[in-house]
Amino acid sequence: MTQVVLIRPGSTDYHQQRLIQGTLDVPLNAEGHAEVKRLIEELRSLGMDAVYVSESEPALQTAEALARAFDVKCRKLDRLRNLDHGLWQGMAIDEIRLKQPKVYRQWQDAPECVCPPQGETLEAADDRIRLAMAKILKRHKGGVIGLVVPEPLASLVRRHITQGQLGDLWQATQTHGEWELLSPTLAGASS
C-alpha cells in the first residue's frame, strides 16, 4: 500500500507577517531553513521513494533538500500549485477580516462558496488535485511518497486522500514546516 507524507514547506517572511502567500514566490527564511533540517531528521526513519512538489519557491526549496537527503528524484507537478488567492495575495489575514468580515467568515465556515477576487475556486483546485493524485498513485503502487505543498492546498490534498474534513483554511495558511503520514482511502485513491 502506498503511503503519502504530506509536507508543508518551511516558513517564509509571509508566514511570520500573517500575509496570504497563495501563488506568490517567497523564499524560505532562516526559520524555514531550520524547519527543513528538522523535517529531514524527523522523516529519516520513514524514507521516501519519490518527492512531488508544487511549483512555488518555498515548496521547491523544501522538496529539493528532502530529495537530496533521501537520494530520490524531485518531480514538479503544475497541478500541485497552490490555490490562487487572486487579489488577496500579499494581504494580511487580519486586513481581510476587518475590511470584509462577511467574506472572511464565509471562507472560514463554507470556503466552497467563496472565490477570492480574481482568484481560484476550491472546486477548480480540487479538480487539479484529483488529477495529480490519480497520476501519482497510478505510478506508485506501494512505498512512501512525499508531497511538498503549501497551505491551503495541503488541506485540500489531505481532504482528498483521507476523505476527511477540510478544517479552517485561515488557520491552515499559517501552517509550515510540518508533516503527516496519510494512507489513501479507496475512494481517494480511485477518484
Confidence of residue 189 (pLDDT cuts 50, 70, 90): very low
pLDDT per residue as tens digits for the range 5-19:
999 999 999 999 999
In the chain, domain spans: 2-190
Global confidence as pTM: 0.92
pLDDT-wise least confident of 36-50, 124-138, 157-171: 157-171
Residue linked to cell 518555498: 58
Task: Assess contact for 126 and 156: CB atoms under 8 A.
Answer: yes
Task: Select from 3.40.1160.10, 3.40.50.1240, 3.40.50.300, 3.10.129.10 the CATH code of 2-190.
Answer: 3.40.50.1240
Taking alpha carbons only, the member of 187, 76, 81 closest to residue 136 is: 76
The count of other CB atoms within 10 Å of the CB of residue 148 is 31
